[in-house]
Chain A
């Protein structure tokens, strides 16, 4: 099986851009789609990116994502940071058995 590694925390100022990485430990990142979830304090997780780089309706276009096979990682980028973006962000993929694999989560502080 593989592990998805995320930075424990990141912080940035309002209006700036932040990128959160998600590195797959073994096997190609391109093998299975990567999703990103946002979990605000006291709330359930919600999807912000699916299938590597697709944004569900209702998610602001300030959220974007990509996959880089050369670094075997996925990235979530949030531009024009707002205080409401302060949350935990989790990447997620599947293994060869279609088991769900979550990254450890990244706490985003907007200060």
Chain B
């Protein structure tokens, strides 16, 4: 079965600074990888996904993520953070032959002025 680890529970970034949120997965074959964002009181919204091909994927709101098979990682990045990016971010992994996704425990992003 697949699993996902998000090592950072909270991260604080200054507005305008760059951001990287870490995600490590465990799965034997090529996984399907997702990043979701959850604003307070809302459901989860898909930011981006990786299935195959180019290992650098672009998403909405200026986010990108890079799949690194050698490190079993799928880190989320943004060059310049805005105050509206403050939210909780979830990494998720799916696998061929499985119906469901497995979510990480989330990273809460705080943006300081």
Chain B binds chain A: no
